[in-house]
Each structure stands twice: as C-alpha cells, then as structure tokens.
Structure 1
Amino acid sequence: MMDVAHILGFGHGGWGAALLLASGVTLSLSVFGFLLGAAFGALAAAGRLSSRSIRSWLANAYGVVFRGIPDLLTIYLLYYGGSIALTQIGKFLGSTGFIGLPAFATGVLAIGIISGAYQAEVYRGAYQAVDRGQFDACMALGLSSLQSLRLVIVPQLMRHALPGLGNVWQLVLKDSALISVIGLVELMRQGQIGAGSTREPFVFYIAAGALYFVIAAVTGLFFRYSEARAWRGMVHA
C-alpha cells in the first residue's frame, strides 16, 4: 500500500493540489447553480402565488416535473439535448462534427433548474408565513408593490426561508457530484481518477468525503449565521 501522506500530499506525485482544485470546482458549481436556482425558484413561487391560472399551472408543472424525475436524467437531457440542438445549428451555419455544451455551464444550468424547483416551495411557504398585517401596513403607507416587496416583504420572507434554503443547499452540494457524468472534473470525479491511477480507492474516497464534509460544515455555519442575524432582536417560535 502506498504511503497515504505521499498520495494526498502536495509534492511530486501527490494528489493534494488536484483534490483541492476539484473542491474549488465543486464549490463554484454549487454556488452558481444555487444562485441560478434562486432566480428560477423566485419566478416559480411568484407563479404559484399568482391569481392567473396559466402562470400558476406552469409554475406547478415546473415543480412537479423537476422534483419528480431523477436529477441524473435532467442532466443527461440538458447536456445531450442541448448538444444536439447546438450541433444542428452549427451544421446550418456550415460547421461539421458534434458540438458539445460546456460541462461546467451545463452543470450550473442543471443544478439551477433542479434546485429552483425546491427553492420555489421554500419561497412560497415563506411568503405565506409573513403576517398579513404587513401587507396592510404597506398599503396604509402608500408603498408601491415593488417598494413593499423590497422594503418590507422580502426581508421578512427571507427570515422564514433561510432554514429551508440551507437544506436545499445541502442537496445542491451533493447533486454537484452527478455533473461528473458529462465530463466535468469536480471533487467526485477527481477522486475516481486518483483511485484508478493509484489503485487506492479507499484513500481517495475517504479524502473526497472529508472535503465534502468540510465544505458542507463551513457553508452550514454561513447559513446558521445568516439565520441568526436575520432574526436578531425578534422573538419567534
């Protein structure tokens, strides 16, 4: 068995730098996907709360579909479907050969779409948890709809949403490992490469697990801090 310190070290033949770089890819992929999902989720939540039936139906269909089908299937459909469409456009413009979508961008989009379906329910529930008197107060003050949302409703909505968003973030972090199937070398894929190259799968998968745990723990502290700050000076159940 090879020396573990040498395998995971930063010297010649060590895999430490590669694993840390892959961890950065995983974190970047997760952050951008989560933020994109926040935009999708906010739009879907607004649709679910809309009085117009078509908007509500479309938003509900989006949530049901992407919460219902396997995440891996969503990734495959986006990557291969998008690549086929891009290839056809390329042929129309005179290009030849297969044109694949960038793996990182596809991963961000896939995670954004998937997490958005979950974030929509978080935002919808948080909106409904805001005291109705706050809406009446906005009307009494003569605030516009945009002013009411920006100054009063959204800050209170986020207090209720943060715990749920923390849970969605953990799902996003784990889903990031699935993006390796379309060729992105993130943490899980780098662990597989190292395990195959050195024939030390136990060492690399334990190391990858430890790095995932560190990322989850540190970002979890961020969400807990944000939640505590959002509720400072407030009494809540």
Structure 2
Amino acid sequence: MEAVLQFSPFLLAGLKVTIALSLVSIMVAVLLGLLGAWAKLSGSRRTRRIAELYTTLVRGVPDLVLMLLLYFGGQMALNRIGNATGLWDYVELDAFTAGFLAIGFIFGSYMTETFRGAFLAIPRGQIEAGIAIGMSGFVLFQRIIWPQLVRYALPSFTNIWLSLMKTTALVSVMGLEDLVYNGYAAGKTTHQPFTFMFVVLIAYLVMTAVSDVGLRWLDRRYSAHLQRA
C-alpha cells in the first residue's frame, strides 16, 4: 500500500490520459457513426458499398492489429502525401493522436450500425409529418430525429462506450503513458506487478460504474415522456 501511495501521482497522470483518450475517441466514433449511418441509408449504391466495406473491414480485423496498422501505415501515408504534394514536411503522429484516431475509427463502425438501427426505429410518419408542415432539414433533425435517435441508440451506445474504455488499454502498446502503461511501469519498478494491476482493475471498475450511472440518468431523461404517457 505504501508503494501505491508513493506512485499515486504517476497513476493519476495515467488515469487522466485514459479518460481524455476515451472521451476524444468516443467523439470521433460518434461522428463517424453518424456519417456511416447516413451513408448506409443513402440512395447511392456506391455510398452504401463504401459504408458496408468500412464496417465489414473493421469487424473482421482484431482491434490491436488494426490499431498498429493505422498507427504505422497512417503515418507513412501522411508523409508520402506530403512529399508528393509539398504541402507539409515530415509528420510524426504522437501516440495519443494515433490512439484516439484509431479507436474512433474502430468504434465508428459499431456506432454506424447503432445509429442506423436507431434511425430505422423512428416512425416514418413523424418524419413525413415534419416535412409536410415545412420543417427544414436542420429543424427536422433537431426536434424529431435526434431526440428519438438518442433514445433508441442509448442501450447499444452504453455497451460500445464501456468496450471503448477497455480498448484504450491497447494504446499502451504504442508507448502512450496511460493508466495501464503507468501501472505496469510502477509494478515493474517496485516488483509488485499484481498490486498495481489490481489498482488499475479497481480504477476501470470505478470508471465503468460512474459511466453506467450517468448513462442510466441520460436514458431516463430521454424516456421521461414515454413514462408519463
């Protein structure tokens, strides 16, 4: 316990990185999920095929493999484009940027199916009624589509968010000093790996519990009108 207290600032620094990585990654995933859902529901066959290729590719490749491919391959691609166009010099992606882009890209595919299913669950009559009374696309999305999209997507979103938080641990392989990386380093230094990995386990359980409470509150908020009805 004394060793844990001694390394607590080091562990807290790693915890902050893990939380920041999770939040930025989920924002990227939500954005890609909305774009992917729009593409899958598009009237263009080519757009639908691109979205289908994206979701199929991500779901068929292990997360760690895809993460490393994006980390090294993405950096190489950026530098080749820079050399060919002369728009920028050598670019080196740091582990945090590569991490949230890779995790966001991976979980964006799952968000695509989540948002697509949620959109299809919205009664078409409500959308048609909004169009009929002259709502613009933005107003229609804001007042009719988005509130129901969130409500229908929340159960699946909760599972994706919890999985995403755990997946951030893989970024430690790329050298990012997150909670897992710092916990392992502290355990190796003090020759107490079990103690520090147990602390990491507790930290993830706490983050999961807090997330679960927050998402349950959000679900109750968006379902309040149904309970009143």
Q: Deviations over 1:166-195 (max 9, x none)?
A: 110011101100011111010111111011
Q: Deviations over 1:86-131 (max 9, x none)?
A: 55567777x99x8631110110100110110001111011001111
The answer to which structure, 1 or 2, has the higher relative contact order (CA under 8 A, 6+ apart) is 2
Q: Provide runs of 4+ in structure 1 moved above 6 Å.
A: 89-93
Query: What's the TM-score once normalised by structure 1's chain length?
Result: 0.89
Select 1:174's aligned residue among 166, 171, 175. 166
Unaligned runs of 5+ in 2: none
Query: What's the TM-score once normalised by structure 2's chain length?
Result: 0.92
Match of 1:191 in 2: 183
In structure 2, C-alpha distance between the alignment counterparts of 1:176 and 1:120, rounded to whole Å:
20
Structure 2 counterpart SS, 1:160: helix
In structure 2, C-alpha distance between the alignment counterparts of 1:209 and 1:101, rounded to whole Å:
29
Structure 2 counterpart SS, 1:8: helix
In structure 2, C-alpha distance between the alignment counterparts of 1:210 and 1:162, rounded to whole Å:
25
Match of 2:23 in 1: 31
Match of 2:61 in 1: 69
Structure 2 counterpart SS, 1:233: helix
AA at the equivalent of 1:167: N
Structure 2 counterpart SS, 1:234: helix
Match of 2:43 in 1: 51
Match of 2:144 in 1: 152
Structure 1 counterpart SS, 2:99: helix
Structure 2 counterpart SS, 1:29: helix
RMSD of aligned alpha carbons: 2.0
Q: Deviations over 1:54-110 (max 9, x none)?
A: 1111111111111211111111111111233355567777x99x8631110110100
Q: Deviations over 1:124-167 (max 9, x none)?
A: 11001111221121122111223211221111111111111111
Structure 2 counterpart SS, 1:100: coil
State the Cα distance separating 1:17 from its structure 2 match. Answer: 1.1
In structure 1, C-alpha distance between the alignment counterparts of 2:143 and 2:199, rounded to whole Å:
45
Structure 1 counterpart SS, 2:226: coil
2:12 matched to 1:20?
A: yes
Match of 2:198 in 1: 206
In structure 2, C-alpha distance between the alignment counterparts of 1:23 and 1:85, rounded to whole Å:
31
Mapping 1:71-150, distance limit 5 Å: 71-88=63-80, 100-150=92-142
Match of 1:8 in 2: 4
How many pairs does the alignment contain?
226
